[in-house]
Structure 1
Amino acid sequence: MDNISSHHFFTVTALDEWDWTSRIIFFSFALPGYLLTIVLNAALIMIIAFEKALHEPMYIFLCNLCVNDLCGTTGFYPRALVYLLTKTNRISLEECIVQSIVIIVYGAGEFSNLSVMAVDRYIAICQPLRYHSIMSPFAVWSLVTFIWIYPCFLSIMAILVAMKYPFCRNDIVKLFCENLSLVNLQCKQDNLNGIFNGWMYVTAIALISFVLISYFKIILACRKSKVNQEKFFSTCVPHLISFLNYIACVFFDSSQTEFRAKSLPRMLYTFLTVIFLIVPPVVNPVIYGIKLSPVRAKILGGGSSCLTQQPQ
């Protein structure tokens, strides 16, 4: 095969079997979904940013989660909408790399955000008297730094691995670019790809295990305390829903092996591979807006007096 890396273009084949009617139907849901995601996350960010009573660790981490969700959806939706509406199925190497970086940052950032939020909830419920001393401004901003440094480092490493060898194919079967798609197009692969992928899975499993262990201890602390139970239902339930929702969506994406890609209808396969990019960013602000009484009170115009009623 000729080396196609010099051509600097890839062909996205995810929509090749879609007729025009299917494209219009999908577009009619995708565009409102994108706009709704932007509005919901931007509204939550502004509420937290402009309401001083919400400048607490839990809400700072929630604000970062919303920013990360906006990052992921903006990296995916615009290009996907172009594919759907214009039948343009080519993407340049530079655009593919940028999209890959953004989506990796989003995917890893969701894990780091939710893990840090689990730390915050664990300290608030299991060590409430030490909460403010442990979650000092320095600690909070250190955790915020981790939230962004980890996914940025991961994305850079992933792209370096994906760009190690030239490309001999140009067909991307998913609706977006990411490092695994680029790796599969390489003329040659070595053990470095497997080592890096293994490291990504190990770190993801470690973060998931950390969250689950934190919640196991939180549930134990809530058994005999009504105060802790109230904190759990008001602040932990939305986090737990967001966490489980994201894990389920990632599972749907990662479970789509080459065998499944050939056995599933192309439209269903395409939807399952993008579900982690479209569902969590719209579900997270809705869940937190409904469950967190200070945010809900602000949305409903209940006044700033309600903001002091939320437990830490």
Structure 2
Amino acid sequence: MDNVSVLAFFMLSGLNYTVQHRIILFALTLLCYAAIWIVNLVLIITIVVDRKLHEPMYIFLCNLCINGLYGTVGFYPKFLTDLLSPSHVISYAGCLLQSFVIHSSSGSELSILAVMAYDRYVAMCQPLMYHAVMTTQRISLLVAFSWLLPLFCMFSNTMTIFQTKLCDSHIPKLYCSNALIGKLACNTSAANTGVAYFNIAIYIVHFFFLVLSYMHLVKTCLTSKESRKKFKQTCVPHLVSLFNFAFAVLFDLMYTRFGLGMSSQSLQNFMAIEFILIPPLVNPLVYGLKLTKIRNRIFVFFQQQKESVLSG
């Protein structure tokens, strides 16, 4: 048993497709990944370049897009390589790094959504106090919180399984997960279990904060037609992102912890990657189309480029 304590690699499963199907899937995945980078970069550059968009809501949105790119870097390059490779092997260190990036990104997304909910709560429920509350210092602290907390949580979780004695090297998923690596351990680690459930508890608190914030926002916005209009314009994109993210992560958590053997492998694969497939693509599109300032700025930019080409 001592010889199994140090593993050089893990085997990833889930890509049981023919060569022809893999090529088609590779082309679609590459197209999707390119689209994710394009739509997120357009939004990020638009917010950074335009000083009129240097407001708390847009700063948090910029961080949401950056986080979307950060999370996809942990999955897509390796997945695209696996589609063209007969064996789906990942090194021990690479597996831990992939799990860290993907899951710290998902934690950061929920933290950023919670911060955005707080921002909307102050803007709509305490409008006269908004600029006094959302100072530059507080914005910086909220941004730091939304990044550092998830990184710390995932680092703690990763450290509890690092160099754990493992009895198997097979991970039944398209990518690495600390929970699945923990299941390969010869003995159950109380530290790993405790840290994992502590981290889950932290994000359950995040989720309840989000729910309570939006319940209060909805109650407040029912008081006037102007408030309802403002809610639809600025809060609906947040809710779309939240529900999509919550559904995807809940399904992935249930799949990772308990398994879903009754569903097909293709369905399991899709649901396992839904939270690193749909949100990074949909979020910038929803916000870009719904938020007037961003939509107008993007239209003006493309109009200027068109005029520049015609005049040249």
Q: Shorter-normalised TM-score: what interval?
A: over 0.9
Match of 1:74 in 2: 73
Deviates more, 1:295-304 or 1:53-62: 295-304
Aligned letter for 2:230? K
Question: Following TM superposition, by how much is the alpha carbon of 1:25 offset from its aligned partner in structure 2, in angstroms?
Answer: 2.7
Match of 1:239 in 2: 238
Matches within 5 A, 1:96-175: 96-163=95-162, 165-175=164-174
Check 1:120–1:259 CA distance in 2 against 1; reply closer, same or farther (3 A cut).
Answer: closer
Check 1:90–1:303 CA distance in 2 against 1; reply closer, same or farther (3 A cut).
Answer: closer
What CA distance in whole angstroms lies between the structure 2 residues aligned with 1:95 and 1:33? 23
CA contact (8 A) 2:111 2:206 kept: yes
What CA distance in whole angstroms lies between the structure 2 residues aligned with 1:83 and 1:261? 23
State the secondary structure of the residue aligned to 1:176.
Answer: coil
What CA distance in whole angstroms lies between the structure 2 residues aligned with 1:137 and 1:257? 40
What CA distance in whole angstroms lies between the structure 2 residues aligned with 1:303 and 1:122? 33
State the secondary structure of the residue aligned to 1:187.
Answer: coil
Match of 2:11 in 1: 11
Question: Following TM superposition, by how much is the alpha carbon of 1:190 offset from its aligned partner in structure 2, in angstroms?
Answer: 2.7
CA contact (8 A) 1:222 1:232 kept: yes
State the secondary structure of the residue aligned to 2:223.
Answer: coil
Check 1:258–1:124 CA distance in 2 against 1; reply closer, same or farther (3 A cut).
Answer: closer
State the secondary structure of the residue aligned to 1:262.
Answer: coil
Deviates more, 1:132-141 or 1:180-189: 180-189
Question: Which portions of structure 1, spanning 4 or more consecutive aligned residues, are displaced by more than 6 angstroms?
Answer: none
Question: Following TM superposition, by how much is the alpha carbon of 1:197 offset from its aligned partner in structure 2, in angstroms?
Answer: 2.3
CA contact (8 A) 1:45 1:63 kept: yes
What CA distance in whole angstroms lies between the structure 2 residues aligned with 1:145 and 1:283? 24
CA contact (8 A) 2:43 2:65 kept: yes
Aligned letter for 1:250? V
Deviates more, 1:41-50 or 1:293-302: 293-302
CA contact (8 A) 1:162 1:180 kept: no
Aligned letter for 1:135? M
State the secondary structure of the residue aligned to 1:10.
Answer: strand
Aligned letter for 2:12? V
State the secondary structure of the residue aligned to 1:177.
Answer: coil
Question: Following TM superposition, by how much is the alpha carbon of 1:179 offset from its aligned partner in structure 2, in angstroms?
Answer: 1.0
CA contact (8 A) 2:108 2:147 kept: yes
**Long gaps (5+) in structure 2:** 304-312
State the secondary structure of the residue aligned to 1:300.
Answer: helix
Question: Following TM superposition, by how much is the alpha carbon of 1:27 offset from its aligned partner in structure 2, in angstroms?
Answer: 1.6
Give a deviation string over 1:210-263, Cα, whole Å, max 9, x none. Answer: 011001111111111223222211110111111111111112212225764432
Check 1:147–1:56 CA distance in 2 against 1; reply closer, same or farther (3 A cut).
Answer: same
Question: Following TM superposition, by how much is the alpha carbon of 1:298 offset from its aligned partner in structure 2, in angstroms?
Answer: 1.3
Give a deviation string over 1:178-228, Cα, whole Å, max 9, x none. Answer: 211211121211322322222122112111110110011111111112232
Q: How many residues align?
A: 303
Match of 2:175 in 1: 176
CA contact (8 A) 1:3 1:166 kept: no
CA-based RMSD of the aligned residues comes to 1.8
Q: TM-score, with normalisation over the residues of structure 1?
A: 0.92
Aligned letter for 2:9? F
What CA distance in whole angstroms lies between the structure 1 residues aligned with 2:151 and 2:222? 39
Match of 2:28 in 1: 29
State the secondary structure of the residue aligned to 1:301.
Answer: helix
What CA distance in whole angstroms lies between the structure 2 residues aligned with 1:19 and 1:94? 29
What CA distance in whole angstroms lies between the structure 2 residues aligned with 1:191 and 1:57? 41
Aligned letter for 1:97? L
Give a deviation string over 1:91-111, Cα, whole Å, max 9, x none. Answer: 111111211111121010011
Give a deviation string over 1:136-164, Cα, whole Å, max 9, x none. Answer: 01110010110111111011111011215
State the secondary structure of the residue aligned to 1:86.
Answer: coil
Q: TM-score, with normalisation over the residues of structure 2?
A: 0.92
Match of 1:202 in 2: 201
Match of 2:55 in 1: 56
Match of 1:256 in 2: 255
CA contact (8 A) 1:246 1:276 kept: yes
Deviates more, 1:229-238 or 1:49-58: 229-238
- The answer to whether 1:185 aligns with 2:184 is yes
What CA distance in whole angstroms lies between the structure 2 residues aligned with 1:130 and 1:75? 40
Question: Following TM superposition, by how much is the alpha carbon of 1:303 offset from its aligned partner in structure 2, in angstroms?
Answer: 9.7
Match of 2:310 in 1: none
**Long gaps (5+) in structure 1:** 305-312
What CA distance in whole angstroms lies between the structure 1 residues aligned with 2:3 and 2:181? 14
